[in-house]
Amino acid sequence: MSTRGRSDGISAPAGGEQSAVEVAVQRVGDDQTSRGRDLLAVEEPLEIRLVYGPAANRVRRSITVTMRTPGRDVELGVGFLFAEGVVRCREDIEAAVSCGPTAGPLGVRNLVRVELVPDLVIDEKRLQRNFLTTSSCGLCGKTSLDTLPATSRIRLPDGFVVSPSSIHQLPDRLREAQPVFDRTGGLHAAALFDGSGRLLDVQEDVGRHNAVDKLIGAQLLAGALPLSNRLILVSGRAGYELVQKALTAGVPLLAAVGAPTSLAADLARGANMTLLGFVRERRFNVYCGGHRIRRGAGRSRRRRGFRTPPPAGTDSP
């Protein structure tokens, strides 16, 4: 697999990572059976390795293995380390590369190595993950509650305001930018928008937390953090780990097509973040931070919001 190089020490696969595969299937109906083909989203393990410490005594350590959809692996690794509090800015990273031997019939490279600048002091507690991180869980593998990312002291500033009409447009714009989901129906997405609802970036992955890490990792490498005048829309539900990742990046508004969890709402409320759920069909619920939703024409009446969960099967893990 070829790579594209950058003078700043960041390199990644040159695109074309296979995110879907075609398989043979047997289709069974009420009174007939047929054979056909179907597309499945690719899921592969990714090991994230960290190199840190003084130049004369570098430490090389495997941090975690996460199940992900190949593509933007460097951004995923960097975004993961940022969300964990291991790195704080682009200047903390000396180099990051997708590497290792190709594996499996798709020839995927399943290793990302991130090298930190020698003078960066690392909190070893932040590196305590001993288990596989599944595609549905962004916090799996923590060895104790003390190793959860420290976000409780963050309080986001006011000033970012969005109109209801801009929020209503987000799901359609996200769906238009999900090419692999349209082919497989098996991927989550995270999208970055400005206050007017203009789509700036979108990432897909079998894991919703991976999609957010890819999104934020790309912004960190571009030197665009904090994202104080941006919002993120995620497919599916908004759990604690997604609020935590958005909060670490300074995102003032997180919107979800599905429901938030109680812990997610608690974290968002304490951090002065705006959290929206059930954003679809020109409706949404505001769980906290309603002061960022512009009042006036087009405001959704309370009776029009969603009060019950969506039908079963619309928000997969």
Distance of CA 230 to the CA centre of its chain: 15
CA dist 207 and 228 (Å) reads 25
Burial class of residue 56 in the structure, from the number of CB atoms within 10 Å of its CB (0-12 exposed, 13-18 middle, 19+ buried): exposed
Q: Could you tell me what percentage of the chain is helix, strand and coil, using 3-state DSSP and rounding each to the nearest 5?
A: 25, 35, 40
Q: Is 89 a catalytic residue?
A: no
What are the angstrom distances between the C-alpha of 25 and each of 22, 47, 187? 10, 31, 19
Q: Over the Cα atoms of the chain, what is R_g?
A: 20
Contacts of 214 (CB under 8 A, 6+ apart): 71, 72, 75, 76, 79, 190, 203, 205
Q: 89, 137, 140, 288: which is the annotated catalytic residue?
A: 137
Contacts of 2 (CB under 8 A, 6+ apart): 13, 14
What are the angstrom distances between the C-alpha of 308 and each of 260, 262, 312? 12, 14, 11
Instruction: Name the phi and psi angles at 68, rounded to 5.
Output: -145, 170
What residues are annotated to the active site?
Answer: 137
